[in-house]
Amino acid sequence: AGAGAHEGTAPVVRLREVAKRFRRADGTVANAIDGVTLDVMPGEFVVLLGPSGCGKTTLLRTIAGLERADEGEIDIHGATVFSHERRIELPPEKRNLSMIFQSYALWPHLTVFDNVAYPLRSRRQRYSKAEIAEKVNRVLELVGVGELGRQFPGQMSGGQQQRVALARALVDGGDLVLFDEPLSNVDAKVRETLRRELLEMQRTLGFAAVYVTHDQHEAMELAHRVAVMGAGRVRQLGPPTEVYSAPTSRYVANFIGTTNEIPATVQALEGETVVLDTPAGQARGIRASDGLTVGDRVVACFRPEYGIVDERREDGNVWDGIVERVLFLGATSETVVRLGGTDQRVRVTTLGEPAHRDGDDITLFVPAARLRVLAEGSTGVSA
């Protein structure tokens, strides 16, 4: 999935070095978007994920033309809709896309039919009554609410409202939909259902989507590719499995899921692998990342579910440790291990009930493929 499946086709959205600054009330300047380059391919679901203030909403609004970028270029369906250099700026209604806002924002006083017909009626190029009826009914069928045309949004379930909002976004033949946290005001249980349905519909209907959220579970579930943002930049872009399993910075490793971090120094480089000096002893066989040199201060990271207690194998690293605390959480247990002779604590997650008790002497095995060496930097967005 993801971009690989689209080689040779033109992107639906193409961003080149897009930047957007805001002047704050106190006169200082915020670099809300700080040079973003990104392609969205036909049928692709790209999620912009990041903490509050990282610039994801501004980036979405800039694509839509609701904010004017200060730098860079934006192409949509192969046509340039914004170029700082060439002084091109198309208004939102000429950008050939639809935007879906928080809570789907259907008009309560209009029927489903009229809600969906709205974008057609507000166009300058008029459609006949018959054309409008045909287009609206077809798209309502497409999203599976063909029978709801005469109802009002207030009488419908969340799932039906979501379908109607999608119908409105797709009715004018557009195949690019921008979503600004549509599910953020919905309670957790319903959100899960709506997410599944949205996923199903996007994969079936095949429109391209750019979707803003600060919820990593939502991002992992919906995205073909996730753009993890920090301080106005895309810090990492890739399929959910990749940003989770192979984060390229401490920022991404800590923003998505939880990670154990063991401070270390690069002791030697052995071909493709690296030897680390950690407070709890040597760690060997870890795949080296680019640009490492002997003496670099780094952190060795691994996800809690990849630590294995009381196993010793050659294809990874073994540390001695003491079980400090065991927490039974139901489906899983969490074991806090203090690495031998140090103050370094790591967490290990296992399925089901814990096999150990507080105070046990254990060994902790982490497969080399699951250990990552990341630049020390900082975990903050300004890193």
Q: Give the residues lining the site for ligand ATP (CB under 6 A).
A: 22, 24, 30, 32, 50, 52-58, 214
CB of 209 to ligand ATP, least distance (A): 17
Q: Identify whether the C-beta of residue 368 lies closer than 8 Å to the C-beta of residue 313.
A: no
Considering the complex, state which of residue 170 and residue 212 has its C-beta at the smaller distance from ligand ATP. 212
CB atoms within 10 A of CB 248: 18
- Nearer to ligand ATP among residue 32 and residue 364 (C-beta): 32
* Smallest distance, ligand ATP to C-beta of residue 191, A: 16
Query: Is the Cβ of residue 32 or residue 165 nearer to ligand ATP in the bound state?
Result: 32
Beta bridge partners of 383: none
Q: Which residue lies nearer to ligand ATP by CB, 28 or 122?
A: 28
Supply the minimum distance, in Å, between the C-beta of residue 14 and ligand ATP.
20
Residues 171 and 180 sit within 8 Å (Cβ to Cβ): no
Q: Which residue has the tokens 């949509």?
A: 76
Between 34 and 197, CB nearer to ligand ATP: 34
Minimum distance, C-beta of residue 243 to ligand ATP, in the bound complex (Å): 17
Measured from the CB atom, is 39 or 180 closer to ligand ATP? 180
Nearest approach, Cβ of residue 176 and ligand ATP (Å) = 19
For residue 68, the minimal CB distance to ligand ATP (Å) is 11
Shorter beta-carbon distance to ligand ATP: residue 52 or 128: 52
Measure the CA–CA gap between 228 and 50, rounded to whole angstroms: 6
**How many of the other CB atoms lie within 10 Å of CB of 294?**
11
Query: Are the beta carbons of 363 and 311 closer than 8 angstroms?
Result: yes
Cα–Cα distance, 383 to 372 (Å, whole number): 18
Minimum CB separation from ligand ATP for residue 212, in Å? 6
In the complex with ligand ATP, the residue whose CB is nearer, 32 or 300, is 32
In the sheet where 273-278 sits, what is the strand order? 281-287, 273-278, 260-270, 297-302, 372-375
Distance of closest approach, residue 229 Cβ to ligand ATP, in angstroms: 7
Q: Tell me the C-alpha to C-alpha distance, in Å, between residue 5 and each of 44, 64, 138, 203, 276.
A: 10, 26, 29, 14, 38
CA distances from 218 to 153, 215, 335 (A): 25, 5, 27
Ranges of H-type helices in the chain = 56-64, 112-121, 129-142, 158-170, 188-205, 216-222, 240-245, 250-255
Which H, E and C letters describe 278-293, residue by residue? ECCEEEEEEECCCCCC
